Amino acid sequence: MRRDIHWHPELADEERRTSALVAERLRAAGLAVVTGVGGHGVVAVLDGAGEGPTVAYRADMDAVDDDELFDCTFASQVPRASHLCGHDLRTAIGVGIALVLARLRKQLNGRVVFVFQSAEETCEGARAMIEENSRSAAVAASWHPAPDSAAHAAEGTAPSRLPQRRSPRGTSKADSPVPAANASPAVTPRQAADWMGAFFHGGRGADPAPDDTTGGAGDNVRNNTQE
């Protein structure tokens, strides 16, 4: 699935094929799926067999407005569109998590909400999804593929209500779901910030060895405002 998405990248607000692919896989796994949320966003809900908290996983689906940089069998077939930011990977992993958890539904307590966002690169998708389909969760998780391979978890009362973080030069930077106010006194539910709760470092190079993989816990909040 990841290679399929990488081969057919779609820019912000144009993710029709990608969102349809995501929705098809999730419906086949038995999740309750809503499409067209805030544009081409997809929200899927998996209810476990018992009572419990709501947790969420968020991924973005749009490609970058740039040409493919790598020569591979699944390189972008669309001029000026490519998944240089790894949204294909994050989307495929989100669907994979959903498929695994669906098979374990009878062992789950609580609800898992999967949020696949469109238009992350323009900073418009999150706001549109919030306004159209606002949900809250006790814990939300996302991550950003990078040389340092950081995984992010945001803990709070309503991380799905928060906007995305952007770097000053306009590219996405560790745009995990942002923690709500009770995760950090300095971050309100509408501010843009990052909180790193854990990290995984998978080594460097194209083929790092498993022994090179390390991980750990962190407590690092980054905010875009002076406060």
Domains contained in the chain, CATH given: 1-135 (3.40.630.10), 152-227 (no CATH)
Q: Please, are residues 15 and 118 in contact by the beta-carbon 8 Å criterion?
A: yes
Burial 1-13 (b: 16+ CB within 10 A, else e): ebeebbbbbbbbb
Nearest residue to 86 via CA among 62, 110, 54:
62
Residue 162: is its pLDDT beyond 80? no
Residue 66: is its pLDDT beyond 70? yes
**Quick one: how far is CA 183 from the chain centroid?**
19
Phi first, then psi: what are they for 154, rounded to 5°?
-110, 130
Q: Give the whole-angstrom CA distance, residue 3 versus residue 80.
A: 18
Eight-class DSSP state of 186: T
Told to judge if 120 belongs to the known catalytic residues of this protein, a careful annotator would answer: yes
Number of other residues whose CB lies within 10 A of the CB of residue 72:
10
Q: Give the whole-angstrom CA distance, residue 97 versus residue 82.
A: 24
Q: Please, are residues 144 and 89 in contact by the beta-carbon 8 Å criterion?
A: no
pLDDT at position 169:
32
**pLDDT confidence bin for 176, thresholds 50/70/90:** very low
Across 3-17, 24-38, 85-99, 168-182, least confident range: 168-182
What predicted TM-score, i.e. pTM, was given to this entire model?
0.68
**pLDDT confidence bin for 137, thresholds 50/70/90:** confident
Q: Which amino acid is at 77?
A: Q
pLDDT at position 164:
34
% residues pLDDT > 90 (the chain):
52
Told to judge if 60 belongs to the known catalytic residues of this protein, a careful annotator would answer: no
Q: Give the whole-angstrom CA distance, residue 216 versus residue 227.
A: 28
pLDDT at position 32:
96
Number of other residues whose CB lies within 10 A of the CB of residue 50:
10
Q: How would you classify the pairing of strands 41-47 and 214-223?
A: unpaired
Question: Length of the chain, please?
Answer: 227
The active-site residue, picked from 15, 68, 120, 194, is 120
Cα three-residue angle 168-227-141, rounded to 5 degrees:
65
H or E stretch at 204: none
| Residue 124: partners with Cβ closer than 8 Å, 6 or more residues away | 12, 13, 39
pLDDT at position 212:
54
Residue 190 vs residue 100, higher pLDDT: 100
Q: Please, are residues 134 and 77 in contact by the beta-carbon 8 Å criterion?
A: no
The active-site residue, picked from 10, 62, 88, 175, is 62
